[in-house]
Amino acid sequence: FGLDRAYAHSDYVEAAYVCLTIEDDMEDLMTEDPEALSKLESDLLQTDPEFLGDVVMDVLLTHPHLVLELEQQLKVEDPALYAELLEAARKSKLEDGEEVVGDISFADNPKLVAELVTTMIKEDPELLNSLDLLGYNDDDDDQALGLDEALGEFEDAKRKLADLEAEL
78 CB-near residues (< 8 Å, 6+ apart): none
Considering only CA atoms, which of 116, 119, 93 is closest in space to residue 104?
93
Quote the CA–CA distance of 101 and 163 in Å, as a whole number: 59
Which spans in 33-146 are helix H? 34-47, 49-62, 64-77, 79-95, 110-123, 127-131, 141-145
Which tens digits make up the pLDDT trace of 75-92? 888 888 888 888 877 787
Q: Is the pLDDT of residue 137 over 60?
A: no
How big is the chain by its Cα radius of gyration, in Å?
A: 21
Residue 120, CA atoms < 13 Å, CB-side half-sphere: 16
Instruction: State the average pLDDT over residues 154-163.
Output: 70
Q: What is the pLDDT of residue 126?
A: 67
Q: Tell me which of 35 and 51 has the higher pLDDT.
A: 35
- Considering the domain architecture, whether residues 47 and 125 belong to the same structural domain is answered as yes
Quote the CA–CA distance of 61 and 111 in Å, as a whole number: 9
Query: In this predicted structure, which of 20-24, 43-47, 133-137, 143-147 has the lowest mean pLDDT?
Result: 143-147
- Considering the domain architecture, whether residues 133 and 147 belong to the same structural domain is answered as no
- Considering the domain architecture, whether residues 9 and 70 belong to the same structural domain is answered as no
Report the range out of 73-82, 93-102, 103-112 with the highest average pLDDT.
Answer: 73-82
- Considering the domain architecture, whether residues 66 and 127 belong to the same structural domain is answered as yes
Domain that holds residue 148: 1-32+138-168
Q: Is the pTM of this model over 0.75?
A: no
- Considering the domain architecture, whether residues 127 and 146 belong to the same structural domain is answered as no
- Considering the domain architecture, whether residues 23 and 100 belong to the same structural domain is answered as no
